[in-house]
Structure 1
C-alpha cells in the first residue's frame, strides 16, 4: 500500500518560508521532491522532538531521522528491523539519557559503538567503561573535543587503536576494523554547530551549489547537510597548532586541527606518506592544483599516482600531469598513438627538461605535440633537435624564443612566418601559453602574511602547469620570517631589505 505522502516526492516546488517552517519543526511541506526540501525536513525532524511522525516509512532517510529523534529525545526505543532504518548519528543535536543508551544496546547490541560515542559527547564515562568496546579513534576525538577526559585517556593510552566509525560514508566497520591513529577524520559535534543557509535551486547554473540550493559538505552524519535558516560561522581553529606541523614530523595522533592546510602542503610537495595519511576521500578546494604541482615536481609522486586505481585519477588533468612528468624523466611509454588528446601535456620542460632525443621522438610519435616539443628545445637550448622538429611559426613559441639567449630560435620562427608556415593561432583561450620560463622561475613573493590558513596557498591562477597553478610562496616566506620581524608589523620584504632596483 502506497504511503499517503508518496505523491509529494514527485512535487518539485520551492518556497523559502515553508522550508524555514520545516527546519523549525512547524509544518511539513506538501512537496518533497527537491533534495533541498528533504534536507530541511530531516533537519526539522532531528532538531524538534515529535515533529514529522507522519513521514515514517516514506523514505529510509526520513525513517532514520525519526528513529534518531526517538532515541535522542524519547524514552521509547523505536522498533527497527531493516538495516536502512538504523540511524548513524544519535548524539547530535541532543544526546540520549544513560537509561535510553542501556535499553538501546540491550535491544540492538551492535549499536554499542554509537552508544560509546554518545558517552564521549555527554561525558558518560561510567557507562563507557561497561561497553567493552575496542579503543576507537572517532570516540577518542569526540571525547577530546567535548572534554570527556576519562574516556579520552582510556583510549589514547592503549598501544593500538581502531577506526570503527567512517564519518565520510556514515558506516561502521564492526568486523575486523582497521588499526588507525587519530587522523582528524571525525565529524566532531563542534563541526556540526556550523550551519549553512540555503537558497532557491537554479537548474541552469554551472555551479553545483546553485543547482542544488546548498553546498555539499565533506561530512553529513546527520543527513541534513547542516542546512539552517541562517548561516552560522564555522568554528575558529587555532592555526598556531597547525603551522609547526608543516615543517615538523606529524605526531602519532593529530591534535584537533583544521588539516586542510596540511593536506594541500603534502600534495604540493609530493609527500606520499603525509598525503595518504591526511587526505579526505573527496578532494578539498585547491587540492587538485596542489596535486598537479606535486606531480610535476616529483617523479616519484608521479610514479605513485600512475599506479593508483582509475577512480583515484579520474581527473584528466592528473593523468596529463603524470604524462608530463614521465616525459621529462625521459620516458615516453605513457604517450602512445592512442593516448587521448586531452591527456597530452603542453608544459613538458619545467621544472626539468628531458633529454633532447625524447623531444625528437615525441614529435615523430605524436605530430600534434610538435609545438611543445620545439618549445622545450628553446628552453633547454637544444638547437639541433629544434631544427629536426622544424616547427612552424607560433606566437607562443615566439614569446619563448624572445627570452632565449640563443638568437637562432627567433630567427627560425621569423623565417617561417615570412614563408607563410604559421599556425595562425592566437591562443586567446589559453593565454597561459604566453607565460615563459622566465615567469616560471619567478622570485619568492615579497609579502609577509601575519596569519596563515589553507586559503594562503594560492590555487586560483591559471597558468604554468597547463593552465593550473599552485603557489605556496606566501606561506614559505611567512614561516621563514622570524617572529620578531612579524611582530614589528613588517608585511613586505622590501622593508627588511631596501633595494635600489
Structure 2
C-alpha cells in the first residue's frame, strides 16, 4: 500500500463505513476518525487490512490483537507491537492464551484479564499473578466468581495494569483496592457513531468523542450509537455513606463530581481519574469557593492547568483574609472578580488588596457594597459600571447608588456596560438553585452548567442529585416526577 495514503487528510463517510464493516481500506488515512474506523474494522473482521501490518503502530497492534483472538500467535518483535486488549470483541481459546503466555510472558496480566472475561480458571491459576484489581473488576463484571473470589481473598491487592495509559507495570505494581478504574467488557460494548470532522472557527469536532478509557484504541467507534447498558449498581447510596475499601460495580463519575462539588479532599483524591470527567472542572471551582481546605489542597498541587481554578483559590484565600498569594507581580489572569461570596473579608483586607493590585479596584468596590464598608468604598473612587450599579440598587444603604448615579451624571449619564451578564447578578441572586424535578436515576448525570451566576462566571448545579438523595424511594417509581405538582396547598393561591 502506498505510504502517502497514511497522511492524506480527506474525509469520506462511505470509506469510514466500509472500513468499519471490514470491506475496504480507505484511500486516505490522514484523519484520526478514518484510522479509528480501520482499527475497529480490523478488530471485528479477521483478515481485514493485513496489508497495513508494518505501517502505523495502532494498526499493527490491532492486527496482532485480532490474530490472537482468532487463535493465531503473531510474531511481535517490538514493545509497541504488543496489544493491550486481547479479549474484545471476542476471546481466544484457553490453549491459545496458554501458548501466548509461554511465548510472551510480559503479557501474562493481559492474559489473566482475558481469563476473567472467558472464565479460564485453570489457566488463571497457572499464570501465578499477583491479586490484581483490574482483573478482579473484570471478573466481577463478567460473572466469573471463582477468579473474583480468589483475588478478593488475598490480604493485599495490586494494580499492575493501567487502563488509562494501556500499560502494565509487572516489576513494581502498586498496592490498590477496587476503585472503578477498569474499562470492563460491558463498557466496551457501548458504541458511538462516527461523524464528519469539523475544524472551522465556529465549530470543532474530531468526528468522534474521546473518553478516559480507550483500551481497544478505536474509541468504541461504529456505524451506530448505543446507550449505556444498565448493568451496574445504583451509585447514589455511596454519596451519603462512607466509601468501602473496594468500590462496588458502579460508575464512579458522579462520586467524583460530588466530591469536587463539596470540596471533599479524601474522596476526591481517591476517586478522581487522571483526566477530568465532563463538568468536573465546574464542580472543582464551586468546591474551592466553598471549602477552604479544598482550596488549600489545590494550592499545593504541583501544576494547576486552568487559570480559573487559580482564580477560585485566590478568591477563597482573599475571603479568608489571606493575601499571601497576591502581590504586585501577580498576573491579572489569575485575579478573581467575585471576592464576596460565599463570605466577605475584613475591610482592611479589601483595602490592602486594592493597594497591591489597583486592577482589582472595581471588584473590591463591589465587595464593599455587599459588606457595607462605606469608608473603604469611598476611598476607592470606583468608576460607575453596570455591575456596581446593580449591586448598589440591591444594597439597603442608599449611599452607594447615589454615589454611582452622581458619577454617571458627571459623565453625561454614561455607565460602562461591557461586563459579562454574570457580573450583574447581585449577591441577593447568588442563592444556589434548587429543583422540584425528581429524577429516578442520576447515576450517569453530570453537573448543569448552563447558567453562569457566580464563581466568576463558572457554575455547577447539582440540585437534582441532592433532591434524588433526599426523596424516599416510593417517589422514584417514574423516570421523572415534578414534586411541585404534589404539593396541593398552592392550588388555593
- TM-score, normalization by structure 2: 0.95
The answer to whether residue 157 in structure 2 is matched with residue 161 in structure 1 is yes
Q: How does 1:83-232 map to 2 (within 5 A)?
A: 83-204=79-200, 206-208=202-204, 210=205, 212-232=206-226
- In the TM superposition, what whole-angstrom CA distance separates every residue of 1:21-63 from its partner, at most 9, and x where no partner exists? 1111112122211111111111111111111111111111111
Aligned-pair CA distance for 1:485 = 4.8
- In the TM superposition, what whole-angstrom CA distance separates every residue of 1:260-285 from its partner, at most 9, and x where no partner exists? 11111000000011111111111111
SS of corresponding position for 2:174? coil
Aligned-pair CA distance for 1:457 = 3.2
Distance 2:317 2:414 in 1: 27
Aligned-pair CA distance for 1:174 = 1.0
The answer to whether residue 426 in structure 2 is matched with residue 448 in structure 1 is no
Which stretch shifts more, 4-13 or 346-355? 4-13
Distance 2:404 2:195 in 1: 54
Distance 1:60 1:490 in 2: 51
Q: Would the alpha carbon gap of residues 226 and 245 (structure 1) be closer, same or farther in structure 2, given more than 3 Å must change?
A: same
Map of 2:29 onto structure 1: 32
Q: Would the alpha carbon gap of residues 486 and 13 (structure 1) be closer, same or farther in structure 2, given more than 3 Å must change?
A: closer
Map of 1:22 onto structure 2: 19
Aligned mate of 1:498, from 469, 489, 492: 489
Aligned mate of 1:13, from 10, 14, 17: 10
Which stretch shifts more, 457-466 or 340-349? 457-466
How many residues were matched structurally? Answer: 491
Distance 2:475 2:41 in 1: 51
Map of 1:293 onto structure 2: 286
Map of 1:45 onto structure 2: 42
Aligned mate of 1:399, from 367, 387, 390: 390
CA contact (8 A) 1:138 1:163 kept: yes
Which stretch shifts more, 24-33 or 481-490? 481-490
Distance 2:364 2:444 in 1: 36
Which stretch shifts more, 179-188 or 412-421? 412-421
SS of corresponding position for 1:130? helix
Distance 1:100 1:422 in 2: 83
Q: How does 1:271-290 map to 2 (within 5 A)?
A: 271-290=264-283
Aligned-pair CA distance for 1:490 = 6.0
Distance 1:422 1:280 in 2: 52
Distance 1:84 1:223 in 2: 13
Aligned-pair CA distance for 1:202 = 1.8
CA contact (8 A) 1:237 1:258 kept: no
Aligned-pair CA distance for 1:168 = 0.6
CA contact (8 A) 2:433 2:461 kept: no
The answer to whether residue 373 in structure 2 is matched with residue 382 in structure 1 is yes
Map of 1:478 onto structure 2: 468
Distance 1:245 1:146 in 2: 23
Q: Which ranges of structure 1 fall in alignment gaps of 5 or more residues? A: none
Q: Would the alpha carbon gap of residues 420 and 452 (structure 1) be closer, same or farther in structure 2, given more than 3 Å must change?
A: same
Distance 2:114 2:202 in 1: 40
Distance 2:54 2:435 in 1: 59
Aligned mate of 1:321, from 288, 312, 316: 312
Which stretch shifts more, 13-22 or 55-64? 13-22
- TM-score, normalization by structure 1: 0.94
Q: Would the alpha carbon gap of residues 27 and 442 (structure 1) be closer, same or farther in structure 2, given more than 3 Å must change?
A: closer
Q: Would the alpha carbon gap of residues 216 and 207 (structure 1) be closer, same or farther in structure 2, given more than 3 Å must change?
A: farther
Aligned-pair CA distance for 1:401 = 1.3
Q: Would the alpha carbon gap of residues 178 and 383 (structure 1) be closer, same or farther in structure 2, given more than 3 Å must change?
A: same
SS of corresponding position for 2:407? helix
CA contact (8 A) 2:408 2:414 kept: no
Q: Which ranges of structure 2 fall in alignment gaps of 5 or more residues? A: none
Tell me how large the CA RMSD over aligned residues is.
2.0
Map of 1:56 onto structure 2: 53
Distance 1:458 1:12 in 2: 36
CA contact (8 A) 2:7 2:28 kept: yes
Q: Would the alpha carbon gap of residues 124 and 38 (structure 1) be closer, same or farther in structure 2, given more than 3 Å must change?
A: same
CA contact (8 A) 1:403 1:436 kept: yes
Distance 1:295 1:423 in 2: 36
SS of corresponding position for 1:256? coil
Aligned-pair CA distance for 1:342 = 1.8
Which stretch shifts more, 329-338 or 366-375? 329-338
Aligned-pair CA distance for 1:443 = 6.2
SS of corresponding position for 1:41? helix
CA contact (8 A) 2:61 2:80 kept: yes
Aligned-pair CA distance for 1:493 = 4.2
